[in-house]
Amino acid sequence: MGQSLLITGGAGFVGSNLARAATRDPRVSRIVVLDDLSTTNSGHLDGVDVDFREGSILDESALESALEGIDAVVHLAAIPSVPRSLVNPVASHHANATGTLMLLEGCRAAGVNQVICSSSSSVYGMNPALPKHEREWVRPMSPYAVSKLATEQYLLAYQSSFGLSTLPFRFFNVYGPGQAPGHAYAAVIPAFVDALMNDRPVPINGDGSQSRDFTFVGTVCEILLNASVNAVSSPEPVNLAFGVRTDLMKLIEKLEDITGKTAKIEYRDPRPGDVPHSEADNTSLRQLFPEIQPVGLDEGLKQTVDWFASKY
């Protein structure tokens, strides 16, 4: 008998990719998705064999129903992005921090003992160290980053206090097929691809020297699935990235090569709360998942552009 898996936020970018991957995994027999569709739509799950529940992790009855018979939870539900949290800090706190606490209480009541969650590299904030190690000090620069720090620390506290098996991952810049462009909070890669493919100026907040550790969504999902079915836990947060830092100007060059387009760049003011550089120390990740071979940036960008071209 395979595992019964709940994915909160499973209609979103990472969640829908995870749901699709889980349907192909013989170790998973049942997939429940709980999503309130506040920042996405159910269309991401079209053709994916899941038990979809429209509801919020802040709704105790919706949580109780979704957790019935579940073996493990991958908790991705959140109000994502730094800019969103600057517009409405309270909403980000409720969804990300309070929502995580309610989920953990629901898991305790339902007897679910395995919880994996997405935290964020943004928790490092003002710490200038490169690469970022999990034992480095954190100093969040945005309400979003604070709420994700609360998310991961609640999991670790419940591990210490109640014996739950938990694993908080600090996501770095996850990208790939299914990541929507065309809205105010679009991530950098879909925003760049969208602009290039439609012959519009490529928007850069700042001078383009800022760098990120981009991680392909397929690799992220492979790790989340392995962590779930193998009940992997950690007493500390774990960076989910591979220590390959790329600045935005280099990223644009790579996308120009793939698309055959020449970018016209539109420089904008830096965004409040954005960190200048991000790069993961992946020692802990490699120790926990030594068999994982990440998809490289060039291949990941090609798959992303191909998806964009077929979709839009």
| Lookup: tokens for 16 | 């829908």
Peptide bond preceding 235: is omega within 30 degrees of 0, i.e. cis? no
Instruction: Enter the pTM of the model.
Output: 0.95
Residue 122, number of CB atoms within 10 A of its CB: 26
* Distance in angstroms (rounded) separating the CA atoms of residues 10 and 51: 11
Distance of CA 228 to the CA centre of its chain: 16
Q: What is the pLDDT of residues 203-231, one digit of tens each?
A: 998 899 999 999 999 999 999 999 999 99
Q: Give the tokens for residue 210.
A: 């800022």
pLDDT of residue 272: 82
pLDDT of residue 183: 60
Tokens matching residue 245: 């830092």
- Integer Cα distance of 304 and 298 in angstroms: 10
Q: Which of 144, 154, 158, 175 is catalytic?
A: 144
Residue tagged 């909160």 (tokens): 8
For 176-210, b where at least 16 C-beta lie within 10 A, e where not — what string? bbbbbbeeeebbbbbbbbbbbbeeeebebbeebeb
**DSSP state string for 127-195:** ---SSBPTTS--B--SHHHHHHHHHHHHHHHHHHHH--EEEEEEE-EEE-TT---SSTT--HHHHHHHH
Active site residue 312: no
C-alpha 144: how far from chain center:
13
Angle, CA of 73, 78 and 83, to the nearest 5°? 155
3-state secondary structure of 123: helix
CA distances from 94 to 53, 56, 99, 248, 276 (A): 20, 11, 6, 32, 27
**DSSP 8-state symbol, 263:** P
Q: 203 forms bridges with which residues in the sheet?
A: 266
Q: 3-state class of 119 per DSSP?
A: strand
Whole-number pLDDT of residue 4: 98
Domains and CATH numbers, the chain: 3-174+215-242 (3.40.50.720)
pLDDT for residue 273: 77
pLDDT of residue 79: 95
What number of helices (H) and strands (E) belong to the chain? 11, 12
What is the tens place of the pLDDT at every residue in 38-54? 989 889 999 999 999 99
Structure confidence at residue 184 (pLDDT): 61
DSSP state of 44: G
Calpha distance 120→110 (Å, rounded):
27
pLDDT beneath 70: ranges in the chain? 182-186
